[in-house]
């Protein structure tokens, strides 16, 4: 039977999708699989149909189709691996950040494809035996990621996962004039002392200007967690999340509901507040269920689907249409928020606005003046330290890219704040906050290999009408931000929680290690030895 049926092209067509999902099973939404799998099955059927119409032999047609499908999904990944190997080998005698030419890789793939197809059409004597072997191999191949997915996310009855409902933290008294509330999160924005020590960027003049505008700066603020999903689940619910994540195992997809259907918004809704959000491109912090959700485009691609596209030749070797360029999309979303957040003030309704900026977090797509500095052709994009490729120049590239992007967002977010204040008829409440600090010396798999003071120290600034700062304090952390706001402006009497900081690894996000004693009240040593600026060749990865 396995020699007669020709199903292997369809398994090869969906394997890369399932495999990518299995590697992101705790972050990606299972519904993200539906569209790509449907397209893969449809195109595989079309390719097989064309091959059969030409060859009039279903087994040989299926083998040809499988060869082309495997090459299509392999050539991009092969390009990435080859480029890393070349950079690593050349690093022993010269710093090199170029790439193997796409024409060489595509030419090599074409030669392999033609040779394989020639063998199938002219040399293969028993296509039935070959079909049985390839069918068996494809089955074994697909079983591995499917098993991983089922072990990580076992099927559950629908009734076992009720839709989350936000719970008010406390009843609020409605003030005579309700201020709009802006919660602006700059992902990975380092605290003043870290920014100066590690990146040679002094943001004290920026902080001084904020204070002159009427902001309170919590100079020794620390993050509650070291990962964005955990940080925002905490700050937007005003509690530590230990109880909220019980029963999740290592599954992080449930955090999207903790962020999107949060207790802070549930507390404000009864007194007439509207929830307004801006698209971040990060699944957990995109809030399509908010009352108003602003996005620069209506593209039908999720983050997982864009990641999938990036693994094909369209994302690695061939010219990428702007509509599919995930880096251009990041730029587009950041610029859109900077431009349009102040427009919220024109809404006559009282609003709580949430905007998560993937900036200065990698990838580094903004130069100091906003120019696009990412070289898409390099195939080498700086990540946080946990995802460095191990190349000698990684930290220098991170240093340069992070520094420029931090300079850009610092200047532009101040302009956005000025416009918010100018557009607001009633003085607003503004929280300008990092979720966590930078990640140049971060290891999301190793507690001892992480610079906790870098990762856990944050920017935390508050604009309160009439400078009502009496309940704010120098070490306030995000878990208490909205508790202070509700107590100050809405008559609640919420108890402030201890300001604590927790590290957890990527693989075990809910195994929390208390690092409060390592970071609380501490300043980063000055001066620290920052990595030297990237050389001209090294900077090619970000130009």
Check if the beta carbon of residue 340 is closer than 8 Å to that of residue 357.
no
Distances (CA, A) of 254 to 158, 243, 257: 14, 13, 6
Strand ranges, E, within 51-132: none
Determine the pLDDT at residue 84.
66
Packing angle between helix 58-90 and helix 102-118, nearest 10 degrees?
150
**Which residue, among 69, 76, 75, 37, has the nearest Cα to 50 in the 3D structure?**
69
Domain with CATH 3.40.720.10 in the chain: 181-504
The residues near 125 (Cβ < 8 Å, ≥ 6 apart) are none
Give the three-state DSSP class for 269: helix
**pTM above threshold 0.85:** no
Give the three-state DSSP class for 460: strand
pLDDT tens, residue by residue, 470-491: 999 999 999 999 999 999 999 9
The Cα–Cα gap between 194 and 222 comes to 12
Packing angle between helix 127-152 and helix 58-90, nearest 10 degrees?
60
The Cα–Cα gap between 189 and 194 comes to 10
Tokens standing for 378?
Answer: 């390099």
Determine the pLDDT at residue 311.
74
The angle subtended at Cα 295 by Cα 270 and Cα 306, nearest 5°, is 125
pLDDT tens, residue by residue, 359-396: 999 989 999 999 988 766 554 555 676 555 555 557 88
The pLDDT mean for the chain works out to 86
Give the three-state DSSP class for 165: coil
**Do you find a cis peptide bond into 527, omega within 30 degrees of 0?**
yes
Per the DSSP assignment, residues forming a β-bridge with 503 are 513
pLDDT tens, residue by residue, 102-158: 777 778 888 998 999 989 999 898 888 999 999 999 999 999 999 988 887 666 543
The residues near 396 (Cβ < 8 Å, ≥ 6 apart) are 531, 532, 533, 534, 535, 538
Tokens standing for 213?
Answer: 């505008």
Instruction: Identify the residue whose tokens are 């943001």.
Output: 203
Determine the pLDDT at residue 538.
33
Determine the pLDDT at residue 526.
82
Distances (CA, A) of 414 to 39, 109, 308, 460: 44, 49, 35, 14
More confident residue, 165 or 19: 19
Q: Look at the chain and count its residues.
A: 543
Domain 181-504, CATH: 3.40.720.10
Per the DSSP assignment, residues forming a β-bridge with 222 are 457
Determine the pLDDT at residue 456.
98
Phi/psi at 226 (5° precision): -105, 0
Check if the beta carbon of residue 405 is closer than 8 Å to that of residue 365.
yes
Per the DSSP assignment, residues forming a β-bridge with 458 are 190
Check if the beta carbon of residue 213 is closer than 8 Å to that of residue 421.
yes
């Amino acid at each position: 039977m396995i020699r007669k049926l020709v199903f292997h092209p369809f398994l090869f067509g969906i394997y890369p999708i399932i495999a990518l999902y299995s590697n992101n099973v705790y972050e990606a939404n299972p519904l993200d699989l539906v569209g790509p799998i449907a397209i893969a099955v449809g195109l595989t059927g079309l390719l097989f149909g064309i091959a059969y119409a030409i060859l009039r032999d279903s087994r040989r047609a299926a083998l040809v189709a499988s060869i082309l499908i495997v090459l299509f999904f392999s050539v991009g990944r092969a390009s990435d691996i080859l480029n890393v190997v070349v950079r690593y080998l050349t690093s022993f005698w010269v710093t090199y950040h170029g790439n193997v030419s796409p024409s060489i890789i595509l030419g090599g793939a074409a030669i392999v494809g033609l040779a394989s197809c020639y063998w199938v059409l002219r040399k293969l004597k028993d296509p039935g035996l070959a079909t049985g072997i390839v069918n068996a191999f494809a089955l074994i191949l697909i079983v591995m990621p499917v098993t991983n997915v089922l072990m990580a996310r076992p099927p559950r009855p629908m009734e076992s996962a009720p839709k989350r409902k936000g719970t008010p933290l406390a009843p609020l008294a409605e003030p005579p004039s309700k201020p709009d509330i802006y919660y602006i999160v700059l992902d990975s924005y380092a605290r003043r002392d870290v920014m100066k020590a590690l990146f040679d960027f002094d943001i004290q003049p920026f902080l001084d200007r904020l204070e002159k505008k009427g902001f309170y700066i919590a100079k020794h603020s620390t993050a509650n967690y070291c990962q964005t999903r955990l940080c925002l689940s905490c700050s937007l619910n005003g509690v530590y999340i230990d109880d909220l994540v019980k029963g999740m195992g290592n599954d992080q997809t449930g955090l999207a509901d903790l962020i999107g259907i949060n207790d802070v918004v549930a507390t404000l809704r009864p007194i007439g507040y509207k929830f307004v959000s801006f698209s971040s491109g990060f699944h957990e912090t995109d809030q399509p269920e908010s009352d108003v959700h602003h996005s620069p485009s209506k593209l039908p691609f999720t983050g997982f689907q864009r990641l999938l596209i990036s693994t094909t030749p369209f994302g690695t070797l061939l010219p990428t249409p702007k509509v599919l360029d995930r880096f251009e999309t990041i730029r587009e979303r950041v610029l859109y928020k900077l431009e349009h957040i102040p427009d919220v003030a024109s809404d006559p309704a009282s609003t709580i606005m949430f905007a998560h900026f993937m900036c200065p977090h990698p990838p580094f797509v903004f130069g100091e003046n906003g120019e696009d500095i990412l070289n898409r052709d390099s195939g080498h994009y700086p990540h946080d330290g946990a995802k460095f490729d191990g190349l000698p120049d990684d930290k220098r590239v991170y240093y340069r890219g992070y520094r420029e992007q931090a300079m850009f967002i610092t200047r532009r977010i101040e302009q956005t704040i000025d416009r918010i204040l100018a557009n607001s008829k009633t003085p607003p409440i503004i929280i300008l906050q990092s979720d966590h600090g930078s990640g140049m010396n971060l290891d999301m798999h190793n507690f001892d290999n992480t610079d906790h003071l870098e990762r856990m120290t944050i920017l935390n600034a508050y604009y309160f009408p009439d400078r009502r700062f009496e309940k704010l304090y120098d070490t306030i952390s995000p878990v208490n931000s909205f508790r202070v706001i509700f107590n100050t402006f809405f008559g609640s009497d919420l108890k402030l929680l201890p300001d604590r900081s927790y590290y957890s690894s990527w693989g075990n996000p809910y195994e929390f290690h208390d690092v409060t004693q390592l970071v609380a009240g501490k300043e980063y040593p000055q001066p620290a030895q920052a990595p030297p600026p990237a050389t001209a060749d090294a900077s090619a990865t970000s130009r």
